[in-house]
Structure 1
Amino acid sequence: MTDAANLQRLKLGVEGHVARVTLDRPDVRNAFDDATIVELTAAFRALGDDPNVRVIVLAANGPAFCAGADLNWMKRMAGYSEAENRADALGLATMLNTVYACPKPVIARVQGDAYAGGMGLVAVCDIAIAASTAQFCLSEARLGLMPATIAPYVIRAMGARAAHRYFVTAERFDAAEALRLGFVHEAVEAEQLDARVEAIASAIVANSPNAVRECKQLVTDLASTEIDDALIGETAERIARIRASDEGREGVRSFLEKRKPSWLG
């Protein structure tokens, strides 16, 4: 298993057959940067290979689950070339696919808001249990961007019809709506969240490890078109291109400078 002592942005622990990966940057609403992406990728690869681990819970400390990209990371990205953006985006796309393709079932414990890339993290998990107070938002279009790297997973989780709306409106919606769309499996009161996550994890642990692994793979193989290297590369190419575009740069700058983007007049 990956060395938990070397993790700076995550907490990692295993109790029995249940592993817990916890986003641990509550001061920035658990927004992720390139270092977080590296740690998540390493953690899920290691836990996926650990024969003792049968289920993984992805959780977060603080009031928010994940607010998407870290502001300091966005500031650095604002000056990236298209090639640099492509390499950066490919790291994110690879991390998302590492969680999605992990041979162990992954449960998202969504105790608070999940915005932009945070919705991607929820979508790549096999099971999502949310607190009823959690809010969700695909906010990229407000910044002149698009949710390209998370799109294959979010579309699978909420369906194309809902994605058509929320990708282009960047509206916030609540846990009840996320449940109605099928984006989360349950929306429960905050005080019930841990009990429900624990119950589902226990149900998985009680099953045959090999059967669980094969069942997860069965769904992946049969549900829809495989998410392969070509698609991962394509989504990274799309976000890199739009990040480097005039509107992409203007959107990020206006957000960081706390002003309206130029297309709002």
Structure 2
Amino acid sequence: MSEPYVKLEVKNQVGYIEFFHPAHNSLPGNILAELAQTITDAGTNDAIKVIVLKSGKDRTFCAGASFKELININDAATGKIFFSGFANVINAMRKCPKFIIGRIQGKTVGGGVGLAASTDYCMASKYAAIKLSELNIGIGPFVVGPAIERKIGLSGMSQIAIDANSFYPAEWAKQKGLFTHVFESNEELDEAVKATAEHLCTYNPDAMQEMKKVFWQGTDHWDDLLAERAATSGKLVLSEFTKEKLKGFK
């Protein structure tokens, strides 16, 4: 089995940030922290004009948070730290002065949907079905909710949050505004991501930075908001309901 990683590769002024974990690209705290820092660093790297966020292998984009860590939470403080992992990545993406293109090649769950929603331009394959499964284990998509609601609206977000057992197809996500394009294969997806990113590199970086501010207007309070949401999830994960649910994943 491959070791988890976060790596940055720069090609033709495009910074490709790739994360990987052998458990369907689920993300433990240390990988989330490294991902947040890598995004922040890429934002200040003069060799990079546009960023692409992607995950390793050809199947699942991101299975969300690490269940192994989730099961071992025994106090509210640890719970808040755990759920702050995705909050820190979302805030790093929000604050990054460069456009971030999402490359979503397969199914994505929970926090992974939050990552996709936090990109500025998200492209997917037809295999990129999405699901918010948090209510099914007694918590909720509190941390990723603001990012998802910002992209697909409260109606769309509430639909997939309540229907926590269902995967919604990539075309549904495109119709709601999460994905800009859906491609028949990963090969077509990769060609389109590369072409789009490299074309954006011909644009005025200052103009793109100003546009990014416009896109994220009204989110300056998210540092506090997502911290509050992380604390809420950290408390709920200690409930008897959630503890019983999590036993089934051991």
User: Please, what TM-score do these two structures have when normalized by structure 1?
Assistant: 0.88
**Cα distance in 1 between the residues matched to 2:111 and 2:223:** 20
Matched, 1:158 2:152: yes
- For the 8 Å contact 1:145–1:251, the answer to whether it is kept is no
CA shift, 1:95, in A, is: 2.0
**Cα distance in 2 between the residues matched to 1:194 and 1:45:** 24
The C-alpha deviation readout for 1:173-228, integer Å capped at 9, x for no partner, is 1111111111111111113101111121022101001111111112212xx45443
**Cα distance in 2 between the residues matched to 1:48 and 1:225:** 18
CA shift, 1:96, in A, is: 1.7
3-state SS of paired residue (1:58): strand
3-state SS of paired residue (1:147): coil
The range that moved more, 209-218 or 87-96, is 87-96
Residue aligning to 1:186: 181
Identity among equivalent positions (%) equals: 27
Query: 2:127 is matched with which residue: 133, 136, 146?
Result: 133
What does 1:80-99 align with in structure 2 at a 5 Å threshold? 80-99=74-93
**Contiguous gaps of at least 5 residues in structure 2:** none
Amino acid at match of 2:177: G
CA shift, 1:8, in A, is: 4.9
3-state SS of paired residue (1:148): coil
3-state SS of paired residue (1:249): helix
The C-alpha deviation readout for 1:109-153, integer Å capped at 9, x for no partner, is 001111111101101111110001221100111111101110110
Matched, 1:15 2:4: no
Amino acid at match of 2:56: N
User: Please, what TM-score do these two structures have when normalized by structure 2?
Assistant: 0.93
Residue aligning to 2:206: 210
- How many residue pairs get matched? 245
- For the 8 Å contact 2:25–2:62, the answer to whether it is kept is yes
**Cα distance in 1 between the residues matched to 2:129 and 2:219:** 29
Amino acid at match of 1:252: L
Residue aligning to 2:34: 39
Amino acid at match of 2:189: L
Moved over 6 A (4+): none
**Cα distance in 1 between the residues matched to 2:105 and 2:26:** 15
The C-alpha deviation readout for 1:35-66, integer Å capped at 9, x for no partner, is 11111011011101112211111111221100
**Contiguous gaps of at least 5 residues in structure 1:** 1-6, 258-265
3-state SS of paired residue (1:159): helix
Amino acid at match of 1:114: T
